[in-house]
Every structure is written in C-alpha cells, then in structure tokens.
Amino acid sequence: MLDLKQLTHVYPNGTRALDDVTLSIPKGMFGLLGPNGAGKSTLMRTVATLQSPTSGSVTFGDIDVVREPERLRRTLGYLPQDFGVYPRVSAYDMLDHMAVLKGIASARERKDTVETLLNQVNLWTVRKKAIAGFSGGMRQRFGIAQALIGNPELIIVDEPTAGLDPEERNRFLNLLAEIGENVVVILSTHIVEDVADLCPRMAVLAAGRIQLEGAPLDLIARA
C-alpha cells in the first residue's frame, strides 16, 4: 500500500503543483487521470524520490519515502514520461548494463533476469538490435523491462501511451495489467480509456487537487 498524506508541492516560482493531496493506493493497477498541468508528473516524481515535497508524507509499507529514498529505490521501478533517448546499444546489452547499475553483480543472475524480461515484454527476437531503431511500442516495452529489473513492488509509469498507435497501446496496456496483478502499479495518463479499460481503482487530479477517487465504473455512473 502506498499512502500519500497532505502532500503539497510548491515550485520556486510559486506554482502550487500539488495541493494537500491525500490518497491510498492498494496493490494492482491504479490510474491517475488528469489534464496536462494537473500535477501528475510532480506526484510521480515525488513518489519516485526524484524531488522532495514542500510538505506532507509518502509511505510505502514501512518505508518513509521522503526520509528513506534509498530504501524505496531498491523496490521501485520507474518509467518516466521522457524515456526516449536511446544509444546504439542492443536491447540485451542495455538491460544487462542497467542490471549492473541496479546491483545485480552475478553474471549468471543477470543473464536469467535479462532473458526473462526480454521474453516477458516480447522483445526476445530483437534483443540484438539497437534500441535506436525500435518503434514507439517497442521502446515503451523496453522501458517496462528496465523498470522491472530487480522485481520492484512499486512501479510508476508516467504517460506511457503517448505516441503509440492503437495496437501498440493495447499490447503495452495488457503487459501492464499482467504485471499489475502482484504489485502496486501507478499509471498516469490524460487518456480516460487507458484507465477505464484496466484500472480497478483511479483518482482524478486537476489543478493539484484530487477531484474524484474510486472505481472507474462507479465514477462514470455518478458523472
């Protein structure tokens, strides 16, 4: 369970990107829906320990995320919104390199990890190709593979379907849904269908505040 309590973020220029956000996020797929500028990325970056809130708390199980960022990072998988600059390195070598950075020292363990992930995201047949040549859908599936290194229990995915065609989008969302059965997955998006199709729970963020929270079908019924 991820718990946000009275989370507020004010940027130096005075923009109140998050304004007293309190939210409990259970295991499974959780959709964070909101228009551009709502504060979604600010929320995601705060949970991913890339920035500190102005006030309020974030806890994941017994981890105080703001005070113990290094503990959270050990169990965090993050696919940022701008994950898109790729070198001329193969998918296999890049994942292997990222596994080293995540602290998987044993070559044998890395081989197992990288092979399993490449199969899981359906990139095994292109593992030796440069990521620079991948399509948008392949890049995002690679992005999920790198986020899954080390079996994280919290996965954060920021606006992942932007720029994907409908088939790529479906394939990507189905992959997320499979992963989301066992861990907390937060999917941030401005696309209602992304959330309605596969998130049992969701919240709507606008102007830094939670406007609605619940099951998508209940929220649609109330609207």
| Chain residue whose CB lies nearest ligand ADP | 137
List C-alpha distances in Å: 61 to 25, 141, 171. 11, 28, 31
Residue 22: name the closest of 44, 4, 48 by CA: 4
Residues 6+ apart with CB under 8 A from 192: 33
Nearer to ligand ADP, 34 or 180 (CB): 34
DSSP tag of 134: -
Q: How far is the CB of 167 from ligand ADP (least distance, A)?
A: 5
Interacting residues with ligand ADP (CB under 6 A): 11, 13, 15, 17, 34, 36-42, 125-126, 129, 133-135, 137-138, 167-168, 171
Nearer to ligand ADP, 110 or 141 (CB): 141
Minimum CB distance to ligand ADP, residue 45 (Å): 8
The C-alpha atoms of residue 196 and residue 179 are separated, in whole angstroms, by 17
Q: How far is the CB of 57 from ligand ADP (least distance, A)?
A: 19
Cβ(40)–Cβ(188) below 8 Å = yes
**Among residues 96 and 158, whose Cβ is nearest to ligand ADP?**
158
Cβ closer to ligand ADP: 42 or 161?
A: 42
